[in-house]
Amino acid sequence: MLEHVALAVNDSEEIENFFEEVLMFRLEKKFILPGEVTRQVFDVESNTDVYLMKRRGITLEIFITGEKEKKVFSHLCLAYPDPQHVYERAAGKGYATILREKGEHTTYFIRDKSHNMFEIKKAG
């Protein structure tokens, strides 16, 4: 069973600008993960700000790294009642967006400024 998804984000301003205003997650908790823990677990020695964000039973654990992630195929798929509204909010705030239409189905993709990819689909 899924407990949470961890993401690396390079700028803490994205917590409000993207995760709260675009994806509609809410901040549950913020803490600093000490360097000795990050070294032991992730092989990165630095005190790291971590934000826990929640929405409808999904928890995101967001690590503020100050570095952009490399381009990869990993992504997080989220379902919303009105995915087009989420897509339009992201586009309106200047985030990279992709619209993919296949027959009657539309899938929306949004990339945050740390290069994390989010696939947005219709709930149901």
Q: Where are the domains of the chain?
A: 5-122
pLDDT tens digits, residue range 49-108?
999 999 999 999 999 988 766 666 678 999 999 999 999 999 999 999 999 998 888 999
CATH topology of domain 5-122: 2,3-Dihydroxybiphenyl 1,2-Dioxygenase; domain 1 (3.10.180)
Query: Are 110 and 64 contacting, i.e. CB atoms less than 8 angstroms apart?
Result: no
SS3 49: strand
SS3 64: strand
> Looking at residue 95, what DSSP letter applies?
-
105-111 and 96-102 strand pairing: antiparallel
Look up the pTM and report it: 0.82
pLDDT tens digits, residue range 10-22?
999 999 999 999 9
